[in-house]
Amino acid sequence: MAINRVSDSVAPAHPRARRIDAEASTFGTLRDLWPYIWPGGRPDLKLRAVIALALLLAAKIVTVLVPYVYKWAVDALNDPAGFAAGVPEALKFAAVPLALVVAYGVARVSMAGFTQARDALFARVGQHAVRELAYRTFEHMHRLSLRFHLERRTGGLSRIIERGTKGIEEIVRLAILALIPTIVEFVLVAMVVAWQFDLNYVWVLLAMIAAYLAFTVWASNRRIAIRRVMNDSDNDASFKAVDSLLNYETVKYFGNERMEAERYDRSMARYEAAAIRTWTSLAMLNMGQAVIFTAGMTACMLMSASAVVAGSQSVGDFVMINALLIQLYMPLNFLGTLYREMKQGLVDVETMFGLLDQDPEVADRPDARPLVVSEGTVRFEDVRFHYSPDRPILHGISFEVPAGRMVAIVGPSGAGKSTISRILFRFYDVAGGRVTIDGQDIREVTQESLRRAIGMVPQDAVLFNDTILYNIRYGRPDATREEVEEAARLAQIDSFIRQLPAGYDTEVGERGLKLSGGEKQRIAIARTILKGPPILILDEATSALDTHTEKEIQAALGVVARGRTTLMIAHRLSTVVDADEIIVLERGRIVEKGHHADLLAKGGIYAGMWNRQREAAEAAERLRRTVEEDAEGYLDLNRRRAGQDPAAPGAGE
pLDDT tens digits for range 506-554: 988 876 778 887 888 888 888 888 888 899 888 876 665 666 666 777 7
**Would you say residue 85 has pLDDT above 70?**
no
Architecture of domain 26-357: Up-down Bundle (1.20)
From 7-11, 175-179, 577-581, the region with the lowest mean pLDDT: 7-11
pLDDT of residue 398: 93
- pLDDT grade, residue 294 (50/70/90)? confident
Q: Does residue 71 or residue 417 have the better pLDDT? A: 417
Work out the average pLDDT over 461-481: 89
Whole-number pLDDT of residue 400: 93
The pLDDT-based confidence of 6 (bands split at 50, 70, 90) is very low
What local confidence, expressed as pLDDT, does residue 384 receive? Answer: 92
Tell me the average pLDDT of the chain: 77
- Residue 285: pLDDT band (50, 70, 90) is confident
What's the pLDDT band for 649 if we cut at 50, 70, 90?
A: very low
So what's the pLDDT on residue 19? Answer: 42
DSSP class of residue 538 equals: E
Over residues 548-566, the mean pLDDT reads: 76
Question: Is 2's pLDDT higher than 60?
Answer: no
Residue 193 has pLDDT above 70, yes or no: yes
Compute the average pLDDT of residues 63-74. Answer: 70
Angle at alpha carbon of residue 457, lines to 456 and 460, rounded to 5°:
125
- The winner for highest mean pLDDT among 38-42, 220-224, 513-517 is 513-517
CA distances from 58 to 47, 64, 69, 70, 323 (A): 17, 10, 16, 19, 19
Helix (H, G, I), strand (E, B) or coil at 536: strand
Domain limits, CATH 3.40.50.300, in the chain? 461-532
Buried b or exposed e, range 117-128, using 16+ CB within 10 angstroms: bbbebbeebbeb
pLDDT given for residue 386 in this prediction: 87
pLDDT given for residue 301 in this prediction: 83
How far is residue 491's CA from residue 477's CA, in Å, rounded to a whole number?
Answer: 18
Q: Measured between alpha carbons, how far is 520 from 621 in angstroms, rounded to an integer?
A: 27
pLDDT band for 642, please (50, 70, 90 cuts).
low
Q: Write down the pLDDT at residue 446.
A: 92
pLDDT at 95 over 60: no
Alpha-helical (H) ranges within 453-490 are 468-473, 481-490
DSSP state of 397: E
CA 555 to chain centre: 39
User: What angle do helix axes 547-561 and 481-490 make, rounded to 10 degrees?
Assistant: 120
Burial of 487 (0-12, 13-18, 19+ CB in 10 A): buried
Which pLDDT band, with edges at 50, 70 and 90, does 314 fall under? confident
Most confident range, picked from 50-64, 335-349, 500-514, 548-562: 500-514
Q: What is the pLDDT of residue 15?
A: 37
- Residue 21 has a pLDDT of 43
Cβ contacts of 199 within 8 Å, gap of 6 or more: none
CATH 1.20.1560.10 in the chain, residues?
26-357
CATH pick for 461-532 out of 3.10.105.10, 3.40.50.720, 3.40.50.300, 3.40.50.970: 3.40.50.300
Measuring CA to CA, which residue among 572, 559, 603, 599 is closest to residue 583? 599
Distance CA 349, CA 65 (A): 39
At residue 429, does pLDDT exceed 60? yes
From CA 283, how far away is CA 592, in angstroms rounded?
A: 74
CA distance 432 to 384: 5
For residue 603, the SS3 value is coil
| pLDDT greater than 80 at residue 344 | no
pLDDT band at 8 (very low <50, low <70, confident <90, very high): very low
Look at residue 274 and tell me whether its pLDDT is greater than 60: yes
Average pLDDT over residues 101-114: 75
DSSP letters, 294-352, are: HHHHHHHHHHHHHHHHHTSS-HHHHHHHHHHHHHHHHHHHHHHHHHHHHHHHHHHHHHH
For β-strands 432-437 and 454-457, DSSP reports them as unpaired
Of 571, 578, 580, 496, the residue nearest 541 (C-alpha) = 571
Higher pLDDT, 181 or 633: 181
The pTM of this model reads 0.61
For the ranges 181-190, 394-403, 461-470, which has the lowest average pLDDT?
Answer: 181-190
Q: Which residue has the higher pLDDT, 613 or 17?
A: 613
pLDDT of 40 higher than 80: no
Q: Kindly write down the DSSP assignment for every residue of 95-140, as one continuous string.
A: GSHHHHHHHHHHHHHHHHHHHHHHHHHHHHHHHHHHHHHHHHHHHH
Q: From edge to edge, which strands make up the β-sheet containing 589-594?
A: 454-457, 535-539, 565-570, 406-410, 581-586, 589-594
Strand partners, 583: 409, 593
Phi and psi (nearest 5°) for 538? -110, 100
pLDDT over 60 at 78, yes or no = yes
Mean pLDDT over residues 153-166, rounded?
69
Residue 473's pLDDT is what?
Answer: 92
What percentage of residues in the chain have a pLDDT greater than 90? 12
The rounded distance, in Å, linking the Cα atoms of 295 and 298 is: 5
CB 382 within 8 A of CB 398: yes
- Which one of 110-114, 126-130, 288-292 scores highest in mean pLDDT? 288-292
| Residue 397 backbone phi and psi in degrees, to 5 | -80, 130
The pLDDT tens digits for 576-592 are: 888 899 999 988 899 99
Do strands 432-437 and 440-441 pair parallel, antiparallel, or not at all (unpaired)?
Answer: antiparallel
CA gap 527, 212 in Å, rounded: 63
Q: For the chain, what percent of residues have pLDDT higher than 70? A: 77
